[in-house]
Amino acid sequence: MAERFSLSVNGQPREVVAEPDTPLLYALRNDLDLKGTRFGCGSGECGACFVLIDGRALASCDTPLWACAGKSIVTVEGLGEAGKLHRLQEAFIAEQAAQCGYCSSGIIVAAAALLAENSRPSETEVRAALDRNLCRCGSHNRIVRAVLRAASAS
């Protein structure tokens, strides 16, 4: 049976009426019109749907709404400020770190979680932090360069 869920999304209080087991990803895209978070595998394997939940990069396809109550959710849309991209987004553009871009939002979210914990990661640490994110276009080296560029801009 559908229930009403009060969520904190990108710093704003939002409400969703849905079944408790509805994946957070569906609520973000279909109810809250936040299309930046992507559906890839739907089973927690690819990272395309990552969002920050209380600061941790987690698969929103694999997180039910009932588990999100009272937590802070940040999507790729919430990383920057009005009229100003997040430094990771600027670095991805500068390094042209995508081909199709389908993986980008999940990877940028995972990188944001890394930089919040470790503002000057090594290349090895960047690669380890992005290990759960797949990129089918083979943009990995550019992606790592972009994260290191963003780190050096902090």
- Interacting residue ranges for ligand FES, rule: CB under 6 A: 39-42, 44-49, 59, 61-62, 98-103, 135-137, 139
Angle at 35 between CA 134 and CA 104, to 5 degrees: 30
Minimum distance of ligand FES from residue 134's CB (angstroms): 7
What's phi and psi for 35, nearest 5 deg? -90, 0
Smaller CB distance to ligand FES: residue 35 or 120? 35
Shortest Å distance, C-beta 37 to ligand FES: 9
CB 95 within 8 A of CB 124: no
Nearest of 51, 48, 47, 1 to residue 22 by alpha carbon: 1
Instruction: For residues 113 and 53, give the distance between their C-alpha atoms in angstroms, rounded to a whole number.
Output: 10
**Residue 1: CB minimum distance to ligand FES, A:** 25
Looking at the Cβ atoms of 76 and 103, the one nearer to ligand FES is 103
Closest to ligand FES by CB, 47 vs 121, is: 47
